[in-house]
Amino acid sequence: MTLQGLTRILGISILLLAICVITTSLNPVFVDPQNLSNLLRWTALFGILGLGVAFVIITGGIDLSIGSVVALSGVCLMLFLQVNYYDSGHTLSVNSIDPDTKTITFDAPVPSYSDLDRLVISSKKTADDITLVIDQSKTQATNNDKILVLRSNVRRVELGSVATLEHQSRLMHPLLAVLLTLLIGAGIGLLHGVLIGYMKLQSFVVTLCGLMAYRGLARLVSGDEAVGVGPHHASLRYFANGKPIEIPVPLINKISATGDNAAQGSQGLWGWVELPMPMLILLVLALFSAVLLHKTVAGRYLLAMGRNAEAARFSGINTKQMTLLAYVMCSTLAALGGALFALDIGSVTPAGDGNFYELYAIAAAVLGGCSLRGGVGSIAGVIIGTAVMRSLYNAINLLKQPTYWEFIIIGVVLLLGVMIDEIGRQVINRIKTQRRKKMLSGSPIEQFSG
């Protein structure tokens, strides 16, 4: 990494620290362990998008379709994970109800616990059916073949009601659904790479068309309605909202111990912040990306192409393949981010989810040191830039400021990033020009001509 890159990372790190200190001084809840854990989770989700677009920006391109790819991939994953229900052919009559334990006793043994997923109970008073999901683990623990334990409240169930037993049928295995979603993202990146690298179309135009087309496609395949997975696939959703590790952070209990959180002040100097799964995924991806960009031939080719595409092509670099690689990585990571966003919330609204996410990703990458001219960028800078963007958003919410400040900040950040990049380029060019003049002034040719 160059001295200029280290200086940029140091500057953005100081900015992040300043945001944290100022926000904490105004509202100590900023360093509350729960708030920090949520901040890390959202930083990781947007950081994954930032990593992808960074590779495109480094090559001198741009990708405006990221938000629409997020929506499309999230919709596709939800559709792949949907569960259909089928009548098992068994009906039972309700004998007794226990609302406290959410249990129902029937007049006959239940056929098979493992094959059942929910009950559809016909109401004797109204025409509406009541649908209740079976809690398999607690049902089996009762050791009574006439009792079922439900996940939801059973107070609406009436004695003597007829319950139809249903079982579920999944469209595909969860791992296959995730893999297929990532392949859709990779396919979109492949399309972009072919159009931009091989057909020489402008990246702005291609990805702008993608921004509109993929959003429309997401609304088409979902019927323009929200798509979700309900209570199923808890193990898969763990990758989006699980918190497997706790890390110690000094003093946060003392600082955040105000108002309703005053009791935390007596818990010692150290507070424990839950590290969410998306952050672990981001760290793995960041390590891989850093090695690829700075330690491999492909990474050097990407940087060289961003500095001067023509010179890179004349030096033997296959710029078409490098363009293809950059856009495939960008769209694949966008699809991964879309899958994690969808799993985190549990549903996707195709018309709204992912809107402006491409701007967040681009702003974070530019703020982190990626030059929109290409050829310059660092993975660490992208992550810190994303943390700055999410910390600003979190500060706006905690300080109860209008949300329009978020968009103002994004616009200012992008403008400042471009201005700093241009000023830095001019300064470096001026220094190089002066050095050349000094070298020429001391050369024999210069002396002879004088």
Say whether pTM exceeds 0.95. Answer: no
Look at residues 368, 357, 288 and name the one whose alpha carbon lies nearest to residue 58.
Answer: 368
The percent of residues in the chain predicted with pLDDT above 70, rounded, is 90
Structure confidence at residue 450 (pLDDT): 47
Note the pLDDT tens digit of each residue in 76-89: 999 998 877 777 77
Q: What confidence score (pLDDT) does residue 78 get?
A: 93
CA atoms within 13 A on the CB side of 107: 11
CB-facing half-sphere around the CA of 80: CA atoms within 13 A = 22
Res. 266: pLDDT tops 80: no
Q: Could you tell me if 214 and 71 are in contact, meaning their C-beta atoms sit under 8 angstroms apart? A: yes
Which own/partner contact pairs does 397-404 have at CB distance under 8 Å and 24+ positions apart?
Answer: 398/23, 398/26, 398/27, 398/29, 398/30, 398/35, 399/23, 399/26, 399/27
Residue 357 confidence (pLDDT) above 60: yes
| CB burial string 139-163: b at 16+ within 10 A, e below | beeeeeeebbbbeeebebbeeebeb
Backbone angles phi, psi at 273, to 5 degrees: -105, 125
Residues 209-256 have pLDDT tens digits of 999 999 999 999 999 999 987 666 778 889 998 999 998 888 787 777
Lowest mean pLDDT among 31-45, 318-332, 396-410: 396-410
pLDDT tier at 11, thresholds 50, 70, 90:
confident
Phi, psi of 111 (to 5 degrees): -55, -60
**Residue 216 CB burial class (10 angstroms; 0-12, 13-18, ≥19):** middle
pLDDT at residue 447 greater than cutoff 90:
no
Domains and CATH numbers, the chain: 3-81+174-424 (1.10.3470), 84-170 (2.40.10)
Indicate whether 144 pLDDT > 50: yes
| pLDDT at residue 293, rounded to an integer | 92
Q: Which of 428, 341, 406, 430 is nearest to 5 (CA)?
A: 428
Report, as an integer, the average pLDDT of 115-139: 76
- Of 58, 153, 141, give the one whose Cα is nearest residue 100: 153
Q: Which helix (H) or strand (E) holds 441?
A: helix 404-441
Mean pLDDT estimate for the chain: 86
Complete DSSP assignment for 18-43: HHHHHHHHH-GGGG-HHHHHHHHHHH
**Are 115 and 165 in contact, with CB atoms under 8 Å apart?**
no
Residue type, 420: I
Helices 357-367 and 33-58: crossing angle, nearest 10°? 80
Taking residues 121-144, report their average pLDDT: 74
Q: In this model, does residue 448 exceed pLDDT 70? A: no
Region 149-170: mean pLDDT is: 80
Residue burial 67-94, b: 16+ Cβ < 10 Å; e: rest:
bbbbbbbbbbbbbbbbeeeeeeebebeb
Q: Which residue has the higher pLDDT, 109 or 394?
A: 394
DSSP class of 158 = -
Structure tokens at 340: 């994690």
pLDDT digits (tens, 9 = 90+) for 380-433: 999 999 999 999 999 999 998 888 887 887 788 778 767 776 777 787 778 878
Residue 405's φ and ψ, nearest 5 degrees, are -60, -30
**What is the separation, in whole angstroms, between the first and last Cα of the chain?**
41
- Looking at the chain, the whole-number percentage of residues with pLDDT higher than 90 is 47
User: Helix H segments across 156-314?
Assistant: 174-193, 203-221, 234-241, 252-256, 277-295, 297-307, 309-314
- The pLDDT-based confidence of 442 (bands split at 50, 70, 90) is low
Beta partners for 246? 274
Answer yes or no: is pLDDT of 193 > 90. yes
Helices and strands: H and E segment counts in the chain: 16, 10
Higher-confidence residue: 261 or 40? 40
Mean pLDDT in residue range 280-309: 94
Helix (H, G, I), strand (E, B) or coil at 288: helix
Q: What is the pLDDT of residue 328?
A: 97
303 pLDDT higher than 70: yes
Average pLDDT over residues 52-71: 96
**Does residue 334 carry a pLDDT above 90?**
yes
pLDDT of 68 higher than 80: yes
Average pLDDT over residues 267-289: 90
